[in-house]
Homo-oligomer: A and B are copies of this chain.
Amino acid sequence: MNERIVDLLKKNHLSITESRKKILSHFLDANGALAHADIEHKSGTEFDRVTIYRTLQTFVEKGMIHTIPTTDNSVRYALCKDECSAGHHHDDHVHFMCDECGTTYCLDHVIVPQVALPEGFKAIRNDLVVSGICNKCS
């Protein structure tokens, strides 16, 4: 378990620090996406708030996690697949937010469909967020 975390950090050319290991482990343990506040609560007073912000930024830049657009305008993060890297993200999957339990899921196997836009509009990224009832709450 700890091995996998250290390997992940090494693979991304990041120095091995307590905060990074712990924050990364929270993502590996979680089944849904995590908000900054979630990590802050899970970590207690272990790290400074600022450290969490900077660690999340770093992880995003390295392609280890990705942000999720949410309808309630909170920022959430989830682990990326192995295919993702610093340059290339593979964020073409649908995200699901449960109205009941609040969990946000990456539906990795549900691909966002393309839509035809009006004349002159050029799509670069498509984000589809589905809200409703998740499989655990139904």
A residues whose Cβ falls under 8 Å from a Cβ of B: 67, 69-71, 73-75, 94, 96, 99, 107, 109-110, 112-113, 115-136, 138
A76: nearest chain-B partner, CB-CB: B73
**A78 → B minimal CB distance (Å):** 15
Within the complex, the shortest CB–CB distance from A65 to chain B, in Å, comes to 15
Q: In this complex, which of A69, A112, A119, A136 has the most chain B Cβ atoms within 10 angstroms of its Cβ?
A: A69
- Rounded to whole angstroms, the CA-CA distance of A23 and B122 in the bound complex is 31
Q: Are B122 and A132 in contact (CB under 8 A)?
A: yes
**Cross-chain contact of A69 among B71, B107, B115, B116 (Cβ < 8 A):** B71
Q: Which residues of B contact A110 (CB under 8 A)?
A: 115-118
